[in-house]
Chain A
Amino acid sequence: QQQVKQSPQSLIVQKGGISIINCAYENTAFDYFPWYQQFPGKGPALLIAIRPDVSEKKEGRFTISFNKSAKQFSLHIMDSQPGDSATYFCAARRSRGSTLGRLYFGRGTQLTVWP
């Protein structure tokens, strides 16, 4: 059972455009939502993360929007660049309880940015 659902599976964007990736979750005990970026042959690297007490977090060209009532969150990449071409994973985690620290990942979105 997929605890975090991610869409789309793949995304093609023109250079300079906006890339948007969406995720949804069911478990209301989740209280930390990171996004990871993975290049071929590398491990995932933390890009940006948000907690449910804020609705938006921005770091440079990357923004997370969070809708607690809908149990959805999304990643927006502004002014997308060819170097952003990678696989992006949303994830969720509980900071308390028996599953402390365990990350639940979405299935990933393969982003291609055309020059």
Chain B
Amino acid sequence: GAGVSQSPRYKVAKRGQDVALRCDPISGHVSLFWYQQALGQGPEFLTYFQNEAQLDKSGLPSDRFFAERPEGSVSTLKIQRTQQEDSAVYLCASSSPKGRGRGTDTQYFGPGTRLTVL
């Protein structure tokens, strides 16, 4: 079926606004990752879910960043009181067909959401 999808593809926010970014992983994938990619840089890990459990959020840069995956499928990354340094592409990746959930599986990335904070 379809790959990982993300919405919106582009988001412009004024400094101080809250934003919500959505990720639809590949159906049945247990693991879901969020990464932040600054212009001209490699992706940087933000957080990781296995089903609905957030197992690692050590990469979230501040308490303004919050992620959830309440039913173990769709995930939302929320950024409160956006700052200019939050401008980046936010990538979502999923892996591990149902029943596996190992760390060795290929991560499939979505196209990302480009966030610009003015």
Residues of chain A whose beta carbon lies under 8 Å from any beta carbon of chain B:
4, 6, 32, 34, 36, 41-46, 49, 89, 91, 93-96, 98-108
Q: Does B72 contact A (CB under 8 A)?
A: no
B interface residues (Cβ-Cβ under 8 A, vs A):
4, 31, 33, 35, 40-45, 48, 55-56, 58-59, 91, 93, 95, 102-112
- Chain A residues with CB below 8 A from B110, complex form: 43
| B33 partner, pick from A6, A98, A102, beta carbons under 8 A | A102
- Tell me the number of A-to-B contacts counted with CB atoms below 8 Å: 66
Smallest CB–CB gap between A83 and chain B, Å?
19
Main secondary structure of the interface of B (DSSP, over half): loop
Partner of A105, one of B42, B56, B108, B111: B42
> With contacts A41-B111, A43-B112, A44-B109 known, is A103 near B104, CB below 8 A?
no
Give the docked Cα–Cα distance between A4 and B42 (Å): 10
Give Cα distance in the complex from A45 to B44, angstroms.
15
Q: Which residue of B lies closest to A97 (CB)?
A: B103
The answer for the CA separation of A60 and B111 in the assembled complex, in Å, is 26
What are the residues of chain B within 8 A of A95 when measuring CB–CB? 102-104
Q: Which 5 A-B pairs have the closest CB atoms?
A: A43-B109, A105-B42, A100-B103, A101-B103, A95-B103
A103 adjacent to B45 (CB under 8 Å): yes
